[in-house]
Amino acid sequence: MRTTSTFLAAAGAVVAAAALLSLATAACTGAPFYRVSFNFEWTPTTHPNSYEPSAHFSPINVAAHTDAYTMWVPAGYATPGMKDVAETGSTAALRTSLAAYEAAGHVTSWATGAPGPVPPVTTESLTVRVNGEAGASLLSGSSMLAPSPDWFVGMSRVQLCNGTSWLSTASGGLGLWDAGTDSGTTLTAADVATVPPTAIRRFGLDEFPQFGQMYGTWVAEQI
């Protein structure tokens, strides 16, 4: 008897947990598209002492995904894909990973910009599609600040479902993050691999020369 009631109690907890999970994932229905824009602003005026004539950004990338996928996260460690994005701007490894998570159902939509440098003052946009039924209501994206050792900008795990409805817009600043894989301290420093890697962290305003300031803004608009 005891075994049976313990089993029933456990089964009840599993059912309750499953019900909670489906409530959480089914909160927003449908699969709307979002246009995600990176509004880059990096000039000698906005960033005195931290500008190079060759200043640019790398091809942007964005993904709509479930809780099970992480492109990058503050205090986490850079994946091989994010290490490449942050150090070289290459999205090849990131795209391989995105395709694998897409096949597993954890990324519902993703896009990367055309190869080549992105001007330091420009707006670049990509479109992705969230999916309420698939539980994919999070948005992540990134782009390398270049030249730099392993510094990047982007957004991480932005929730586009407010619990019942899809947000019409979401936005934020493009602060600068250190991927923790190269120890160079200036824009044009030679490669110095960080072994072992350190965690991804946001630059502070006090870090010379004001790396902590914004390099523009990002906007996600439901279309």
Ligand X SMILES: *[C@@H]1O[C@H](CO)[C@@H](O)[C@H](O)[C@H]1NC(C)=O
Tell me, what amino acid is at 112? T
Nearer to ligand X, 4 or 164 (CB): 164
Nearer to ligand X, 5 or 164 (CB): 164
Question: Which C-beta is closer to ligand X: that of 118 or that of 130?
Answer: 130
Contacts of 159 (CB under 8 A, 6+ apart): 137, 138
Q: Which residue carries 């993703």 as its tokens?
A: 110
Beta carbon of residue 125, minimum distance to ligand X (angstroms, whole number): 23
CB of 29 to ligand X, least distance (A): 13
Helical segments of the chain, H only: 2-25, 80-88, 92-103
Site string for ligand X, 137-176 (x = CB under 6 A): -------------------------xxxx-----------
Range 12-31, binding ligand X (CB under 6 A): none
Residues in 50-109 that interact with ligand X by CB under 6 A: none
Judged by beta carbon, residue 165 or residue 185, the one nearer ligand X is 165
Query: CB-wise, 55 or 220, nearer to ligand X?
Result: 220
| Residue 173 in tokens | 């600043």
Minimal distance, residue 65 CB to ligand X, in Å: 21
State in angstroms the smallest separation of the CB of 164 from ligand X: 5
Q: Are 214 and 193 in contact (CB under 8 A)?
A: no
Distance in angstroms (rounded) separating the CA atoms of residues 205 and 137 = 31
Cβ closer to ligand X: 43 or 162? 162
For β-strands 138-146 and 61-65, DSSP reports them as: antiparallel
Q: What is the rounded distance in angstroms from the CA atom of residue 217 to the CA atom of residue 168?
A: 17
d(CA 111, CA 114): 10
Judged by DSSP in three states, 13 sits in helix
Total residues at the site for ligand X (CB under 6 A)? 4
CB of 165 to ligand X, least distance (A): 4
Report which DSSP code applies to 68. Answer: T
- Residues interacting with ligand X, by CB under 6 A? 162-165
